[in-house]
Amino acid sequence: MKITPLGERVLIEPSTGEERTKGGIYIPDSAKETKKEGTVIEVGTTKQGTPLPLSKGDKILYGGYSNEDFEIEGKKYIILEYKDIIAKLERTL
């Protein structure tokens, strides 16, 4: 199934919290801290119809509270507004 966000919105797959600590202790779901980090799956367009400055596969940090969480085929996704994206993460050598 392909989902295309409309307008200035971005579809992301949120990152999952760590399963265990550095010492090897497993963390239950109720104690996991939710990271506001994810991977871009699809990108909408600006009001003028030009692409947003993100690409599929980009790692991002996001904030805000006005996002839509949903699940399709066992995977969790979030659609959020472009203005709620705080930063794009890039690896440096």
Residue at 75 is within a domain: yes
How many domains would you assign to the chain? 1
Position 65 scores a pLDDT of 78
CATH of the domain at 44: 2.30.33.40
Domain that holds residue 59: 1-14+35-93
Q: What is the pLDDT of residues 23-77, one digit of tens each?
A: 777 766 666 556 689 999 999 999 898 989 999 999 999 987 778 888 888 889 9
Burial of 5 (0-12, 13-18, 19+ CB in 10 A): buried
In a domain, 50, yes or no: yes
Could you give the CA distance from residue 57 to residue 33 in angstroms, rounded to a whole number? Answer: 23
Q: Is residue 29 part of a domain?
A: no
Report if residue 24 sits inside a domain: no
* Assigned domain for 68 exists: yes
**Residue 16: pLDDT band with limits 50, 70, 90:** confident
